[in-house]
Amino acid sequence: MDSEHKEEKIYPQGYEPEISPDSSNDNTRNQLLDFILKSGPSEVVDTDLFAVMAKRRSTRKFSDKPVETTKIDKIIAAADTAPTAGNYQGFEIFYVKSPEKKKLLVEACNKQPYVDAPVVLVFCKNPFRVKFDFPEYILAKFAIQDATLAAGYSQLASQALGLSSIWIGMFDEKKVMDVIGTDLIPSSVLCIGYPEQTKFPKPRRNLKDLVHVVW
Ligand SMILES: Cc1cc2nc3c(=O)[nH]c(=O)nc-3n(C[C@H](O)[C@H](O)[C@H](O)COP(=O)(O)O)c2cc1C
């Protein structure tokens, strides 16, 4: 395989992972993640999954500190480990780097200023990847679940890396699509960065209100 082919296969234009996956091994399930696993959890702040979940708290004020590329690699790799319907991976990630486009996204997201975050990932549904012979509405349902779950994995990975995030669901779909230049419908915008301050997690419901036992 020539080097040009390798690049085309692995890197989208404008995003080159800090740690370069080994593209010569086509059997690797997830090339970026594979390399990350081999490289060790050097900058993972918290490897206790439950502690990561327990401490996560949405952030709407990010510091200006840029997010290291190795962390962005891991955040994207985490999304790529999520289960998807039939393993068809019915979602896409749009990594918005342009400051101008981030500003347009703020507008598209109901003028929420924190959308102009250090790292902005738009998760879109891609039902065209889901090749089951099922009605269209089922494929659409799978794609939204795929995209949502992947974004959730990225959100937890961000927390594990000492970052924080805000999940944006309030947006004008058409405007977001225009900004990122796609026909695919977005499911969430994940804004990530170093938090200006660490906050305590928000309370949740009582267990008796949450869990409904079915005998
Ligand atoms: C589906 C969904 C949509 C959301 N949309 C927005 C949003 O548009 N703007 C915002 O500031 N927060 C949004 N959030 C973040 C929630 O407000 C936040 O997760 C919730 O208040 C719980 O706080 P926590 O994340 O700190 O536990 C959204 C979260 C989810 C899961």
Q: Where are the beta strands (DSSP E) in 11-133?
A: 91-96, 119-125
Residue 3: inside a domain, yes or no? no
Query: Residue 5 pLDDT more than 70?
Result: no
pLDDT > 70 in the chain, percent: 85
Residue 30: inside a domain, yes or no? no
Q: What is the pLDDT of residue 16?
A: 80
Query: Residue 32 pLDDT more than 90?
Result: no
Quick check: CB of 170 below 6 Å from ligand 1? yes
Tell me how far the alpha carbon of residue 57 lies from the centroid of ligand 1, in angstroms.
10
pTM of the model: 0.91
Residue with the bigger pLDDT between 31 and 126: it is 126
**Best probe residue, ligand 1, of 105, 163, 166 (max atoms within 8 Å of C-beta):** 166
What is the DSSP code string of 144-168? HHHHHHHHHHHHHHHHHTT-EEEEE
Tens digit of each residue's pLDDT (9 = 90 or more) over 150-180: 999 999 999 999 999 999 999 999 999 999 9
> Both tokens of residue 146?
């795929």
Tell me how far the alpha carbon of residue 156 lies from the centroid of ligand 1, in angstroms.
14
Residue 151: inside a domain, yes or no? yes
Q: Average pLDDT for residues 8-16, to the nearest whole number?
A: 71
Query: Residue 21 pLDDT more than 70?
Result: no
For residue 12, how many other CB atoms are within 10 A of its CB? Answer: 10
Quick check: CB of 167 below 6 Å from ligand 1? yes
Tell me how far the alpha carbon of residue 39 lies from the centroid of ligand 1, in angstroms.
33
Q: What is the pLDDT of residue 40?
A: 61
Residue 120: inside a domain, yes or no? yes
Q: What is the pLDDT of residue 100?
A: 98
Query: Residue 3 pLDDT more than 50?
Result: no
Query: Residue 7 pLDDT more than 70?
Result: no
Nearest CA to ligand 1 atom 21: 58
Residue 184: inside a domain, yes or no? yes
Tell me how far the alpha carbon of residue 201 lies from the centroid of ligand 1, in angstroms.
13
Quick check: CB of 169 below 6 Å from ligand 1? yes
Nearest CA to ligand 1 atom 9: 168
Residue 4: inside a domain, yes or no? no
In angstroms, the CA 5 to CA 127 distance is 27
Residue 27: inside a domain, yes or no? no
Our count of domains for the chain comes to 1
Domain that holds residue 64: 48-196
Residue 123: inside a domain, yes or no? yes
Quick check: CB of 208 below 6 Å from ligand 1? no
CATH code, 120: 3.40.109.10
Query: Residue 27 pLDDT more than 70?
Result: no
Tell me how far the alpha carbon of residue 211 lies from the centroid of ligand 1, in angstroms.
21
Q: What is the pLDDT of residue 4?
A: 44
Tens digit of each residue's pLDDT (9 = 90 or more) over 70-87: 899 899 999 999 999 999
